[in-house]
Amino acid sequence: MKAVSAAGDAEAVSGPAIDVRGLRKSFGTLEVLAGIDFSVARGEVVCVIGPSGSGKSTLLRCVNLLEEPTSGTVTVAGTEVTDPDVDIDKVRRRIGMVFQSFNLFPHLTVLENLTLPQRRVLGRDRAEAAGIARERLARVGLTDKESAYPAQLSGGQQQRVAIARALAMDPELMLFDEPTSALDPELVGDVLAVMRSLADEGMTMLVVTHEMSFAREVADRVVFMDGGVIVEEGAPEQVIGAPRHARTRSFLARLLTPATADLTEAAEAADGAGKRSGPV
């Protein structure tokens, strides 16, 4: 678990990095988020876990208004992003986001993928942007790939480039939406290692993930979502190690030991059927 710097502690008194209150999001008649309240402190790493369709990614996308909430408020570093008059582009400059897909420009080299956003959004000149890009590539272990094109990289390398691109914008916080879900298992470790190093440096991070070992080792807090609500949250050792809610226990059993969970559910179903039918 990372240590938060004294400077980070001083900043925290001015309010959380992310504050979500009464957040609801519907797509037509389908309510995906059904009233979310939570916050992320500055320098904190929060991992959001839960089954597919639980609203995890929608929650993440509402934080920087890639999805517009139906109701409720989202505040990032003291600025309410759900305010109709907010300059959302200005707020987004403070937020780095890494998606499941890498979203790299295929016709640009790695270096160009990192320098283009800096020049267009932050107004940096070519030399300054290139210098920062090379430093960020070094942080993710890809110094030797600056002239490569995305198609010449493995999935894990492309995801590390995407992280470096986000870091090149000097964000105050990072959002990760299942950053390893599209990777082959042997490529996951390198991406998680980069994320661990960011956590160790005190980066504020909100991470949607199915990597339980990462959540257990790196997160300050784990949030379990299901059905568009937060079912349980707390320290990793509590939520993952000793969950209080039956739904959390069921999810973790299926995720961590799927064969055992399937056999247990089958046995319980058979036992229930026997009790309903009575003695033969």
d(CA 202, CA 42): 8
Residue 36's pLDDT band, with cuts at 50, 70 and 90, is: very high
101-152 pLDDT, tens per residue? 888 999 999 999 999 999 999 999 999 999 999 999 999 999 999 999 999 9
Percentage of the chain lying above the pLDDT 70 cut: 87
Give the model confidence (pLDDT) of 138-197 as tens digits: 999 999 999 999 999 999 999 999 999 999 999 999 999 999 988 888 889 999 999 999
92 C-beta neighbours (distance < 10 Å), count: 18
Which helix (H) or strand (E) element contains residue 39?
strand 30-40
pLDDT at 273 over 80: no
Backbone φ and ψ of 184, nearest 5°: -65, 145
Average pLDDT over residues 232-242: 96
Which tokens hold the place of 174?
């990072």
Question: Rounded to an integer, what distance in angstroms lies between the CA atom of residue 152 and that of residue 239?
Answer: 40
Average pLDDT over residues 9-35: 85
pTM (predicted TM-score): 0.85
Q: What is the pLDDT of residue 3?
A: 45
Residue 1 token pair: 């678990």
Name which of 100, 63, 87, 49 is nearest 204 in CA terms: 63
The Cα 170–Cα 122 span in angstroms is 10
User: Tokens standing for 176?
Assistant: 């990760």
Confidence bin at 228 (pLDDT 50/70/90):
very high
Got the DSSP string for 144-212?
GGTT--GGGS-HHHHHHHHHHHHHTT--SEEEEESTTTTS-HHHHHHHHHHHHHHHHTT-EEEEE---H
